[in-house]
């Protein structure tokens, strides 16, 4: 009997230990989500400040574990507070918050399912949106296309928020970290919110350069070859500080 009581205490202790570990872990996970939400809101506000979106257009998400934090639909970014955090799982089931997630949730989830991305930024950047109405692929106007994986494709138009748009985007993003959405805008992903944002801004800048160069009467801009862009992409992988 004494041995049985010791076993029972041991089992109970093991269960209590496991529960305690989960309870200790929960605040850590919650804290990570809260920090990620603050960065997400700051990034969303930056898209407005930098003229990449107007009003509540565009959206931003970041993945923390198996939870995707995402901007809510129809709420101005300057009104968002820590208590407004919205989170879904990778199947789109809401697991955090009471506000409805962005209508473009299918696009964000498609990126996370198909890549190892940790953050996604979607905008209605004006120059990029203009280019999306003109070509099927952004002409190779600058070597920074190599940092996005190569020539930037344009995903065919589909109604916003639909699975069709998400699928068109997924195909256009194959082996790329950004693409244009026809008559709509841009989407870019990265290992962090800052990287996803930087790629978005870089794409908008390249579109502006191409539109500017193409607008000169009687002249056509010189373009790079795919080989030149690929070479630049290889060099860019080692760019910056190490460590």
Contact yes or no for 146/229 (Cβ under 8 A):
yes
Contact yes or no for 121/177 (Cβ under 8 A):
no
Q: Given a cut of 80, is residue 172 above it in pLDDT?
A: yes
Q: Residue 91: its pLDDT value, please?
A: 97
67: β partners? 64
Active centre residues (catalytic): 104
Contact yes or no for 72/102 (Cβ under 8 A):
yes
Average pLDDT over residues 174-203: 98
Average pLDDT over residues 27-35: 85
What letters, b where the CB count within 10 A reaches 16 and e where it falls short, cover 217-243? eeeebeebeeeebeebbeeeeeeeeee
Whole-model pTM: value is 0.87
Contact yes or no for 229/150 (Cβ under 8 A):
yes
Q: How confident is the model at residue 241 (pLDDT cuts 50, 70, 90)?
A: low
Biggest distance spanned by C-alpha atoms of the chain: 98
Dist CA 45 CA 103 (whole Å): 18
Q: Residue 23: its pLDDT value, please?
A: 41
Q: How confident is the model at residue 243 (pLDDT cuts 50, 70, 90)?
A: low
């Amino acid at each position: 009997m004494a041995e049985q009581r010791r076993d029972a205490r041991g089992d109970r202790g093991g269960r209590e230990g496991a529960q305690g570990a989960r309870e200790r872990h929960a605040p850590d996970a919650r804290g990570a989500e809260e920090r990620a939400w603050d960065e997400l809101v700051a990034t969303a506000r930056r898209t407005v400040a930098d003229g990449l979106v107007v009003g509540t257009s565009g959206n931003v998400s970041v993945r923390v574990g198996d939870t995707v934090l995402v901007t809510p639909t129809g709420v101005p970014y300057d009104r968002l507070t820590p208590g407004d955090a919205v989170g879904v799982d990778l199947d789109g089931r809401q697991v955090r918050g009471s506000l409805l997630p962005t209508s473009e949730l299918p696009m964000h989830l498609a990126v996370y399912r198909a890549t190892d991305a940790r953050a996604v930024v979607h905008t209605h950047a004006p120059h990029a949106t203009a280019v999306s109405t003109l070509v099927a692929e952004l002409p190779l106007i600058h070597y920074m296309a190599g940092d996005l994986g190569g020539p930037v494709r344009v995903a065919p138009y589909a109604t916003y928020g639909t699975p069709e748009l998400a699928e068109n985007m997924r195909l256009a993003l194959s082996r790329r970290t950004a693409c244009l959405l026809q008559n709509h805008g841009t989407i870019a992903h990265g290992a962090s919110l800052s990287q996803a944002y930087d790629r978005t801004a870089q794409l908008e800048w390249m579109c502006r350069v191409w539109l500017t160069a193409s607008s000169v009467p009687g002249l056509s801009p010189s373009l790079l070859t795919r080989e030149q862009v690929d070479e630049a992409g290889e060099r860019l992988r080692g760019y910056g500080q190490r460590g």
